[in-house]
Structure 1
Amino acid sequence: MKNPIFEQSWRWYGPHDPVNLQTVKQAGANGIVTALHHIPVGEVWSLEEIDRRKALLDKSNKENPFPLHWNVVESLPVHEHIKQGKADKAGYIENYKQSLRNLGRSGITRICYNFMPVLDWLRTNVRYELEDGSTALLHDLEDLIVFDLFILKREKAEEDYEPEMVERAKRKYSGMTKAELDRLQESLLMALPGDQNGFTLEKLRKGLEDYKGISAEQLRENLVEFLKEVIPVAEEAGVKMAIHPDDPPWPVLGLPRVVSTAKDLDHIFDQVPSKTNGLTFCSGSFGASEKNDLPEIIRRYYHRIHFVHLRSVQREGNSRFYEANHLEGSAKMHKLVRTFYECQKGQNRGPIPMRPDHGHQMLDDLEKTTYPGYSAIGRLRGLAELRGLELGIINSLEN
């Protein structure tokens, strides 16, 4: 492709991923987005462990010459004690710095991470059936309130929701079967992709308890303090940091969120102005809120966007959304990709690593055990659609 907008990439969870590297090659992606999920959060990623992961890609390239390379770390996780501002945070920050140095020495120069307390993305149904029989990830506030009030039984949970939504959730709960409640609990406690342990209700309650008394303002201060420590080291190591927005972009289960809006980004970048301090633009995370102007976020922060997740959610009011096909839903994907094209031309910048995110489970994958949102065929469809959209925009505007 002439003058590509994106470097086509694929998230791969390592040797235990049900989707193997041969499949990734056949999907047409070159960049591998991966992480060392087996290393406990807060410990140093050693050069040996980093090189061991790179060696798997080298071996794959020797067996089949279609080239793959590790272009983005997703994620180098931030320890909860750093987010909470605990007394022992300094040791975890030093470990983080050393991991950055080691990644830089190994030639891995883009790091995606997030600052979401306790939970990353949160969905109330990880196998929501669509009209065509495929399944998608769904977030429904009504179901979340049912979980919060009647399964998790969080103290004073009702105070965090509008009274009308609480009443609706109570009525829904009264008619739910045990199987429906079990599915709701399973979805909300689902192990994050790459995490072999997952949550239990007890772990979740403990995690929420650890954040009692921590406001959004305090969490924001802890994020800025963390960045002031690690960004100079990242600069020296030649590594770009790209924070991922909150998913969904509003408080959940009483937990604060501080990377949800353009205003949040302004604060982060004003406080730590180095361009090494950058953004993972996720069209699904920002797009779950109709208040976020996605093309404007691209234009405003393009020089800081070091990594891109393209997906579209279908919003249904202010309290419910599900993962749509990549070119459908509320994102207006054509407008987003064209905005990236225009910004790239304006700043004379090369392609940015991009991966299709949260594909539907479909076709043969419906019978397979996969990470929700990360089956092969749904992401293959998403990447193919995005590749075609990108090529169409480039050819229509340059020929």
Structure 2
Amino acid sequence: MRQTWRWFGPKDLVSIDDVRQAGAEGIVSALHHLPTGSVWTPDEIEARKTVIATMADGSPSTLTWDVVESLPVSEDIKKQTGDWRAHIENYRTSMRNLAAAGIEVICYNFMPVLDWTRTDLAYRLPTGATCMRFDLADFAAFDLHILKRKGAEADFPDDVRAEAAERYGKMDEAQKEALARNVVFGLPGSAESFTLDDVRRHLDEYSGISEDRLRSHLSAFLEEVAPLAQELGLRLCCHPDDPPFPLLGLPRIMSTEADYRWLVDAVDLPANGITLCSGSLGARADNDLPGMMERLGDRVHFLHLRNVRRESEGTPCSFHEAEHLGGGTDMVALIKAALAEEAKRKAAGRADCSIPFRPDHGQDILDDQKRKAQPGYPAIGRLKGLAELRGIAAAVSHAAE
């Protein structure tokens, strides 16, 4: 398992020097400053590779750009509107440029409008650590009373609507604004951000798009990019919905094992694969992460290893980002399954026998709380997670010898 670290570029408050000291071997990054739908040029790609390879004093970092996360899929592609055909051609050009630069793994998602959703970006735990949290009643307060989405009442049970109304009634204007900012935070480091009017406009544009129709749009996208990825020696890996259940009346199509089985069957090529994110998928009690790794492992091209603790029953539910070994996913069993898949690949002579993983998210602890890095991406909290995950991998590998 190759140890990687998500880095948001030169503006990231966690530096390349920090990443090197944390013990990571490779970098997961993206050209967030480029508009979605545009071409990633060879010059831009090489500039990012150079920054990754260099420490602050000019010495080599020994780090390489291993995974792109994300080469974003535009809303036009997801909706098949506007410039979607041009955006697909630009996507294909970017893929060629990345392959020429020696980068083989491209993570993307097909979530409408927002790339992930939380209601609190700094929820305080009893330990004093802070983390990201999704509170269902707070989200309902946003949806029902701040966004005032038409038809939202039907998406929440009576008790959640009542709790949302009570909480909203106690919020001052600053609290309402903070909740709205958190929900529409979008992709950290992205060139894009959303206002409430932007969200309403996007929701209107998705009003006629069902899950089946969105799935057909994903299939059409894959038919254009997966064969090219196969030809270029690239591995595409789709990230799951986060959280893995419908929000804002939008279709969700990457939330369960059945969704991923459909994905790999839709365009049955080895290059068409999965980002198995244990945190996103773990917010559903019916997702068996170790089992998914065992059954879908030959198409898992990238691993996000994190844990969430579900705070309520059923789907949807409230949850918060737990310590990497402290949530509902059996991380030891998941890593054991990943190592078993790697052994199968090595025996089969596959070149991709080492699956890149990163310690996804992390709690803000110690000096993280002063540094104020990207929400969910602290230096020390992720270092702690990486050390724990690395320890599990070493112990499981040792036991197998």
With normalisation by structure 1, the TM-score equals 0.95
Contact 1:128 1:135 in 2 (8 A): yes
Query: 1:166 Cα deviation (Å)?
Result: 1.5
The 1:307/1:196 distance shift into structure 2, 3 A limit, reads same
Structure 1 window deviating more from structure 2 (214-223 vs 334-343): it is 334-343
Name 2:339's counterpart in structure 1. Answer: 341
Q: Report the counterpart of residue 73 of structure 1 in structure 2.
A: 68
Instruction: Tell me what 1:287 maps to.
Output: 282
Matched with 1:141 is: 136
* Deviations 1:127-183, CA, capped at 9 Å, x for gaps: 100111110010111111000011111112112222332222222222334343233
Match of 2:390 in 1: 387
Paired residues of 1:61 and 1:67 also in contact (CA < 8 A): no
2:220 alignment counterpart: 225
| 1:369 is aligned to 2:372 | yes
Q: Percent identity?
A: 47
Aligned ranges 1:36-47 → 2 under 5 Å: 36-47=31-42
Say if 1:102 and 1:62 are closer, same or farther in 2 by CA, change over 3 A. farther
Note if 1:127 corresponds to 2:122.
Answer: yes
Aligned residues: 393
- Match of residue 326, structure 1, among 324, 327, 335: 324
> For 1:338, what is the secondary structure of its paired residue?
helix
How far apart are 1:370 and its partner, in Å? Answer: 1.3
Residues 359, 382 of structure 2: 8 Å contact kept: yes
Deviates more, 1:26-35 or 1:368-377: 368-377
Among candidates 297, 309, 322, match of residue 304 of structure 2: 309
Task: Give the counterpart of 2:87 among 83, 92, 111.
Answer: 92
Q: CA deviation at 1:246?
A: 0.5
What's the offset of the Cα at 1:61? 9.6
The equivalences for 1:24-43 within 5 A come to: 24-43=19-38
**What's 1:3 paired with?**
none
State the match for 1:187 in structure 2.
Answer: 182
1:243 pairs, out of 227, 238, 245, with 238
RMSD: 1.5
Structure 1 Cα separation of the partners of residues 188 and 167 of structure 2: 30
Q: 1:255 aligns with which of 247, 250, 253?
A: 250
Give 1:66 shift.
4.6
Once the 2 structures are TM-superposed, how far is the Cα of residue 73 of structure 1 from its aligned partner? Answer: 0.2
User: C-alpha distance in 2, partners of 1:239/1:223?
Assistant: 18
* Aligned-partner SS, 1:63: coil
Deviation at 1:19, TM superposition (A): 0.8
Q: What amino acid maps onto 2:381 in structure 1?
A: G
Q: Secondary structure at the match of 1:126?
A: strand
Note closer, same or farther for the CA distance 1:48–1:279 as it changes in structure 2 (3 Å cut).
same
Residues in 2 aligned to 1:192 and 1:146: alpha-carbon distance in whole angstroms: 22
SS of aligned partner of 1:322: strand
Cα 1:194–1:337 shift into 2, 3 Å: same
Specify the code of the residue in structure 1 equivalent to 2:319.
F
Letter in 1 for 2:377: Y
The answer as to 2:173 corresponding to 1:175 is no
| TM-score, reference length from structure 2 | 0.95
Aligned-pair distance for 1:273? 0.5
SS at match of 1:81: helix
Aligned to 2:158: 163
The structure whose RCO (Cα within 8 Å, separation 6+) is larger is: 1
Task: State how far apart, in whole Å, the 2-side matches of 1:331 and 1:36 are.
Answer: 31
Q: Does the aligned pair in 1 maintain the 2:17–2:56 contact within 8 Å?
A: no
